[in-house]
A and B are shown apart, each in its own frame.
Chain A
Amino acid sequence: MTALPLPAPAPVPLGSPLRPPASAADRSPDPAEDAQAIVRGAGQHVSIILALPQGARREVLRSLLPGLLAQAQPDVRVRVLCTRHTCDQRLLDTLGGDGVRPEVRMARLDPIEAVMADGRTALANLRAESGPPIFTTQEALPVQALHTLFNSIWKKSAPLSARPDFGDRRRTRLVAEILGMLRVGATDEVAARALSISVRTYRRHVADIMERLDARSRFEAGLLAAELDMLPPPVERH
C-alpha cells in the first residue's frame, strides 16, 4: 500500500489516483495456505466472518473452515460471526468437532467472508468472475478498521448457544406466532383468539417460552427475545 506520507508537502491533489485492488503479489499459489497461515500465526485472537448468501459461487472460507480451526493455537480466542444463511447444520457440525471450540454469534450482514488475526486479514474475493479467490493484507489501517467494525457488530449480536431450541417445526412456528403476538402488544385474550387456542393454553405456551429463555418476567422475555433476534422483523425505524 502506498499510504500518503505525513507530513505531506501539500494537501492531496484532487482526483489523485486511488489505490489499486489489494496486491496479488503477496499471495501464495494456494489460497487455503494463506488463510491457514494467518490463523496459525495468531497469538491472541482469530475472528472469522462467514456471510455469503446461499449458493454463492465464490464461497471460499466456509469450505476451508475445518482446516482453519485446526490451525488455531490452543489458547487463542476464536470468534465466528455468521448469518441465518451460513449458520446451518454443516457449520454446527464443523464447530462442534474436535479442537478449538469457537464462540459463535449470529448477525445480519451483507456478503463478506473474512479471517482476521492479530493485524493480518484474509478476505474472500466476492467478485466471482475474476481474480484470486483470497486476498490478504496486513496494512494497519484497513485491518484496524475492519477489526473495530467486527467488534461493534459482535457486541450487538446474539450468542448462538443462548437461543433456545423449540424442537419440531410445528412447535417452532407456533412459538414464532406467539412471539409475534407479544411483539405487537396483543392482550392474551386477543392473541389466543387469533391463534384459535384457549387463553389458558396461550398462557401456558408463554410460560413455557419464558422458561426456555430463562426469563423471570414478560419484560425480560421481551428483552431476551429481542437480543437473541427471535422476533419477527420490526417496523422500519429511523
Chain B
Amino acid sequence: MTTDPLETGTRRAAAIQRLDTELLVAAATALADQAASSVNVTIPSDRRGLSEFGPALHAMAKTVRPDVEFRVLFPSRAFDVEVLRRLTTERVNVAVRIAESPLQGVVMADFRSALLWSPIALKGGSVALFDKSAEIGALGSLFLGAWGSAIPLAEFRKRRELVRHEDQRQVLGHLRDGHTDRVAAQKMGISYRTYRRRVAEILEGLGAESRFQAGVRASELGLLSPLEDAQ
C-alpha cells in the first residue's frame, strides 16, 4: 500500500503538535501549582508560539490558587485581544504587561523553578524544567527587569486609543518638535482654537496638567519613544 508522503508528513506534524501541547499543559500546570507566591509567565512572540502556548496559559490561569500573583508578560507583536479577554475572565488576580521586544515561552514558579519552552525544534527537546539554580536567579532578575520596563495592559490599551487617529499623532509630533501652537495649527490646516482644543484633549487623555507632564506620560506609554531609533 502506498501512502502519500505529503499527507503522512502533515499527519505526523499534527500529532507531534498535539503531543507538544498536551505535554506543555501538563508540565506548566504541574509547575504552576507548586507556586506559593507567584507565577510569572512570558509569552512567545510568534503566532505559532501563542497557539501552542495559549492552552498552557489558560490552564494555569484556571488552576493556580487565586491568592498567588499571576504575572503575564506579553510581547506586543503577539498581542491578541481574544486571548487576553479569555485570560482576564478566567482569573481575577492576573497582571498583564506588554513588552515591545520578542520573548520566549517561560513559566516561573516563585522564581525557584521554571519551565522554558520554544516552538523551534531544539536539540534535545523543546521543553525544559529547571529547579533552583543560577539560571533561575538570572531569569528571575531579568524577568522583573523586563516587567518593570513593560507597559501595563490598561496603559497599552489607552495608548492604542490615543494614537488611533492620524491628527492625534500629528499633534503629538508638533508638541515634541516645539512648534508654536499657531505654526502647528497652520501646518495641520486647522484653526488655532481647534488646535488648542486638540492639545487639551490629548493632555486630558494622558491625565496631564502640563505639557512637560504630557511628555512624561507619553514616554511611559511609549507613544513617541526617542530611544527607539537608537535601538
Specify whether A and B are partners: yes
Query: A-side interface residues toward B, CB under 8 Å?
Result: 1, 3-8, 11-12, 14-16, 18-22, 49, 51, 107-112, 114, 121, 123-126, 135, 137, 139-142, 144-146, 148-159, 182-187, 215-227, 231, 234, 237-238
Stretch at the interface among B2-10, B85-93, B141-149, B159-167: B141-149
B140 proximity list for chain A (CB < 8 A) = 110
B226 proximity list for chain A (CB < 8 A) = 223-224, 227
Write the nearest CB–CB distance from A98 to chain B, whole angstroms.
25
B132 proximity list for chain A (CB < 8 A) = 21
Q: A6-B121, A114-B138 are in contact. List 8 more A-B contacts (CB 8 A).
A: A3-B124, A108-B149, A112-B141, A145-B116, A149-B142, A158-B227, A222-B212, A225-B216
B123 proximity list for chain A (CB < 8 A) = 140
A227 proximity list for chain B (CB < 8 A) = 219, 225-227
Mask: chain B, 191-231; 1 = CB below 8 Å from A; 0 = not: 00000000000000000111111111111100011111011
Q: Known contacts being A108-B148, A182-B210, A220-B215, is A51 close to B141, with CB within 8 Å?
A: yes
Contact of A157 among B121, B149, B208 (CB under 8 A): B149
Asked if B134 and A216 make an inter-chain contact with CB atoms under 8 angstroms apart, the answer reads: no
Q: Which of A21, A141, A216, A231 has the most CB of B within 10 A?
A: A141
B227 proximity list for chain A (CB < 8 A) = 155-159, 227
Write the nearest CB–CB distance from A133 to chain B, whole angstroms.
11
A153 proximity list for chain B (CB < 8 A) = 142, 145-146, 149
Asked if A217 and B113 make an inter-chain contact with CB atoms under 8 angstroms apart, the answer reads: no
Asked if A222 and B135 make an inter-chain contact with CB atoms under 8 angstroms apart, the answer reads: no
Asked if B30 and A149 make an inter-chain contact with CB atoms under 8 angstroms apart, the answer reads: no
Determine whether B26 belongs to the interface, using a CB cutoff of 8 Å to chain A: yes
Determine whether B27 belongs to the interface, using a CB cutoff of 8 Å to chain A: yes
Mask: chain B, 53-84; 1 = CB below 8 Å from A; 0 = not: 00000000000000000000000000000000
Write the nearest CB–CB distance from B192 to chain A, whole angstroms.
17
Contact of B149 among A6, A14, A18, A152 (CB under 8 A): A152
Contact of B137 among A123, A140, A234 (CB under 8 A): A123
Q: Known contacts being A110-B140, A123-B138, A144-B104, is A222 close to B26, with CB within 8 Å?
A: no
Asked if B150 and A4 make an inter-chain contact with CB atoms under 8 angstroms apart, the answer reads: no
Mask: chain B, 113-130; 1 = CB below 8 Å from A; 0 = not: 100111001111111111
